[in-house]
Every structure is written in C-alpha cells, then in structure tokens.
Amino acid sequence: MPLDTIIELDNINIFQKESLVLTDVSFTVNKGEFVYVIGKTGSGKSSLLKTIYGELPIKNGSLKVAGYNMRKIKPREIPFLRRKLGIVFQDFQLLTDRTVNENLAFVMKATGWRDKRKIENRLSDVLEKVGLGTKGFKMPHQLSGGEQQRVGIARALVNDPDIILADEPTGNLDPETSKGIMRLLFDIRQAGRAVLMATHDYSLFQDFKARTMICEDGSLLPLKDEVY
C-alpha cells in the first residue's frame, strides 16, 4: 500500500445480506483526495461504504483502510479503525434528547475520550470549524436541516480522522444548503483528509468537480465523461 494511499480495494465482492450487489471492485483513494461514488438507489453505494468501515464482512479479495487489513482485523481493533474514520449520514442520526454539545461528547466518550476539559475544547473547536460555534447548547429540533448536517460533520471530525465517508450527506437538503455542505466537505479535504462520498445528486458535479466512480449493473467503474 503506497504511503499516500489510505483506502485500497482489490477484487472485492460487495454483499448486502446474502445478495451480491457489486462484483470485482478495485480502486484506491489517496490522502487529500475527494472521490464521488454515484449510482441509483440500491446500486450498492451504501453497501460499499459499510464494507469500508467494517459493518459488512469481506468474503474475498483485499481491503486495506487507514493501515488496517480488513480481512484480518480483530474485533478489538474495530474501535481503533473507527477513530480513523468519520462517517456522515443522510438522516443526520443525532440523539434528539441531547444538545449539540452532548451529541458530540457522547461520541467522544464512546471512542475513548476521558478528560472533560479536552472534550470541551475539542467539541468547541470542531463546531467552530463547521460554522456552529454558538449553537452547542441547542437541541437538534431547534436547528435547520443544514445545521443538523453540520453537526453530523462536526461529529465525524471529533477524532481528527484520516478519512470521511459521507453517505448521501445532501440527500435531505435543499440545493442552496447542499452547496454549503459541499463547500465544507471540500474544505475538509483541503486539510489532507480523504473524502469518499456516495450520492445520486448529479447536479453537485457542476460546482464541485472530483474523481467520480459509478455503481452500475453490478460493477463500480470510473465515470467515462468525468472532469477533474
């Protein structure tokens, strides 16, 4: 695995339960690279991301993520892998009965943070980065959809991950808000993190160009007419 390569898939079949959804998937993602995975609903985009973060098992081929061999990873190593990954979901997945600060602190404690002051400093820092420096005491229902997704991105950043996996992060947002989220994700990429984003929103490519892979007919292939 070359030094700059942070995700490497080699001849992997992607399954959802017992169904084979993608065959012979091979590609790499380097540090500081933004890559789209596009395709219709049900084409295998989310299953691909779940395989990369260790939720779906690998039955063949080779997968290396942030220095971990996913064929050989031990259950006790999964939490350490997850610290190197930040995951952003379409439906935000915030705890509705806790404030923004409490949502972030919950994730931090679950991934091994213990020092209260360090937790407070870090969550304050990531909220500032996503433009929500004054919103830490709000409840999720007091925020707009775009703000809730920014909290989701802040949560993905708390462990200073090497990789952001974003699964339809603009799927529930209006076009203008989507652009704000995309600008934020591209800023995160500028900081040297790899961003792998699944989406079926083709309009994003006009304003935010990046390498694009397409899930189609059971294969994952480079998009022929892509522009960098």
SS (H, E, C) 60-124: CCEEEECCEECCCCCHHHHHHHHHCEEEECCCCCCCCCCCHHHHHHHHHHHCCCCCHHHHHHHHH
CA–CA dist 223, 228 (Å, integer) = 11
Does residue 30 lie in a domain region? yes
CA–CA dist 88, 97 (Å, integer) = 20
Does residue 49 lie in a domain region? yes
CA–CA dist 133, 116 (Å, integer) = 18
> For residue 117, with 0-12 CB atoms within 10 Å meaning exposed, 13-18 middle and 19 or more buried, which class applies?
exposed
163-215: pLDDT as tens digits = 999 999 998 889 999 999 999 999 999 989 999 999 988 888 778 999 999 99
pLDDT given for residue 41 in this prediction: 83
pLDDT given for residue 228 in this prediction: 43
Does residue 143 lie in a domain region? no
pLDDT given for residue 2 in this prediction: 57
SS3 207: helix
Sites in the chain below the pLDDT cut of 50: 227-228
pTM recorded for the entire structure: 0.92
Residue 63 is part of a domain; what is its CATH number?
3.40.50.300
- Number of domains making up the chain: 1
Does residue 71 lie in a domain region? yes
Does residue 127 lie in a domain region? no
Does residue 7 lie in a domain region? yes
Does residue 78 lie in a domain region? yes
Q: Which domain holds residue 15?
A: 1-84+194-223
